[in-house]
Amino acid sequence: MAVSPWTPPLQSQQWRSYSASAPVPARDPSFAQLTSDDVRFFQGVLGLGGVVTDDDLLAVANTDWMNKYHGKSKLLLRPRTTEQVSRVLAHCHERRLAVVPQGGNSGLVGGSVPLFDEVILNLGAMDRIVSFDEVSGILVCEAGCILEKVDAYLAERGFVFPLDLGAKGSCQIGGNISTNAGGLRLLRYGSLHGNVLGLEVVLADGTVVDTLKTLRKDNTGYDVKQLFVGGEGTLGVVTQAAILTPPKARAVNVALLACASFQDALTAFRLAKQELGEVLSAFEFFDRTCLDLVLKHHSAIRDPLPPEEDGAPPYPFYLLVETAGSNQEHDSAKWDAFLEAASAGEVVQNGTIAQDAGQAAGLWAIREGITESLAKNGVVYKYDFSLPVTDLYRLVEDTQQRIGPLGVAVGYGHLGDGNLHLNVSAPAYSDALRARLEPWVYEWTAQHRGSISAEHGLGQMKPHALRYSKADSAIELMASLKRLLDPRGILNPYKVLPDEADKRDATSKKQQT
């Protein structure tokens, strides 16, 4: 990589104001405007099919999954090879055209859509499986492969992808890696920081960085690929990945359990770790309001655990517990021990265990249907916190108390990972509700030593809130890395890093207190 001389600060947008909600930046005037010469250049590199200017297709690519963030890009590029990505970026770098890397556009923080006229670089046409080693379980694939398709490919060979999430039908491996997505089985398989063994990445100036090793161990200096795992498209464009995949479990058991309190849910988690031990593969939770929303918006789904007595109130908390092992008899004995311990202390009030794969999928459909149900119910203020598990649900209760009738706070998520998805459902976005929520919700999290983003990333929603979770020294190091790898700041501008003005505001606030 050629290290270019210092250029004016990256992310140099001027926030119109620092407010309780995400500030709206102004377009950075140092970025070039797209010209017809640029379009002709891209057509020469990608062919006519790889250069999209159709308004309807652009409207889709400019809008995020929640229909909350809207860009104004006039150009969508669909490269088919790494070389094409490299030539496109070299041109954008030279011309100082801003670029938004895009995968399946299922992200929940507005990271995959432009704010202004940034060129959208969608990796969806790069969807080849490059190789798979059935002994080591190491897969090499292009970034645009859709997660569900890769998982189906692996299933035919007796393996699974080490990540699973509700958007699997549309999200891409490159997007998963760039968000360091956590998902439903992180508890068992760990994070992508461990499972991604190698990457091919194209830097902002078109340089191709090849770390596409297929080795479990490789201590040869700095592990540079890790910068791009969770880099949210701000440091480079992921074009290929080598991923360690585990064998597909022969015995999978799924149960939905109901608890009378969040404290009981925590006790059940402790018991699950003790009794289910190494076969535990998911420990998810949701509250009753989430279940009500799923029942309301999915007519095919029935309440799997109606209260045992007529007229009794519904259970307030639900747990989806999954084990994945190699021996059903062995796992059944473990489940017996777990359920006996859990019912002995009335930790679990009611429960159902799936008898076959279809029933297991039915229970997962409830958990995975929550996000979509919330989207159908109105607008949603979405938060994704890491918190000490003991404090986790108190944030939902405190939020409801704080917002009163302005909205409904629900809590669900990956309890096994200490990851709460606090969602506030309301009929419409309103300044009044947002002002009740932010920055209070970030302050609450900082006071409890949590993280403002457990797995969704920062995107355009949270850069201004980064300082609640990260020390200034670490943020400055992030900014230095950004300057080194993307000296002209063309990759996913206005995202992830807080602006200099925001930092100044934070400093003056600290000095006042």
CA distance 441 to 448: 11
The interface mask with ligand 2HG, positions 356-385, x = CB under 6 A, is ---------------x----------x---
Structure tokens at 49: 């099919």
Nearer to ligand 2HG, 66 or 260 (CB): 66
Contact pattern from residue 165 through residue 194 relative to ligand 2HG, giving x for each residue in contact according to CB under 6 A and a dash for the rest: -x----------------------------
200 beta partners = 210, 240
CB-based contact 492:8 (threshold 8 Å): no
Task: Determine the straight-line distance between the first and last CA of the chain, rounded to whole angstroms.
Answer: 44
Alpha-carbon distance values, 50 to 17, 122, 171, 426 (Å): 39, 10, 20, 40
β-pairing, 317-325 vs 280-287, is antiparallel
Q: Which of 10, 139, 238, 478 binds ligand FAD (CB under 6 A)?
A: 238
Site for ligand FAD in 180-219 (CB under 6 A): 181-184
| Minimum distance, C-beta of residue 413 to ligand 2HG, in the bound complex (Å) | 6
Q: Which of 112, 373, 377, 399 binds ligand FAD (CB under 6 A)?
A: 112
Closest CA to 451 of 371, 403, 388, 382: 388
Q: How far is the CB of 183 from ligand FAD (least distance, A)?
A: 4
User: Shortest distance, CB of residue 62 to ligand FAD, whole angstroms?
Assistant: 12
Query: Is residue 255 within 8 Å of residue 353, measured between CB atoms?
Result: yes
Contact indicator for 334, 326 with CB cutoff of 8 Å: no
- Contact characters 135-174, ligand FAD, x per CB under 6 A: --------x---------------------xxx---xx-x
- The residue among 372 and 472 lying less far from ligand FAD, judged by its C-beta, is 372
For the residues of 200-232, what is the DSSP string, one character each?
A: EEE-TTSPEEEE----S---SS--GGGGTTT-T
Q: Which is nearer to ligand FAD, 173 or 433 (CB)?
A: 173
User: Using CA atoms, how far apart are residues 463 and 20, in angstroms rounded to an integer?
Assistant: 13
Which partner in ligand FAD, ligand 2HG, none is near 421 (CB below 5 to 8 A by kind)? ligand 2HG
Can you tell me the distance from the alpha carbon of 90 to that of 279, in angstroms, rounded to the nearest whole number? Answer: 48
DSSP bridge pairs for 100: 120
Binding mask 109-148 for ligand 2HG (x = CB under 6 A): ----------------------------------------
Confirm or reject binding of residue 242 to ligand FAD (CB under 6 A): no
Q: How far is the CB of 322 from ligand 2HG (least distance, A)?
A: 14
The residue within the footprint of ligand 2HG, chosen from 87, 421, 467, 503 (CB under 6 A), is 421
CA-to-CA distance for 477 and 486, rounded, in angstroms?
14
Per the CB < 8 A criterion, the answer to whether 328 and 299 are in contact is: no
| Footprint (CB under 6 A) of ligand FAD, residues 294-323 | none
Ranked by CB distance to ligand FAD, the top (closest) residue is: 175
Three-class SS state of 137: coil
Chain residues binding ligand FAD by CB under 6 A are: 65, 100-108, 111-112, 123, 143, 165-167, 171-172, 174-176, 178-179, 181-184, 232-233, 237-238, 371-372, 455-456, 459, 492
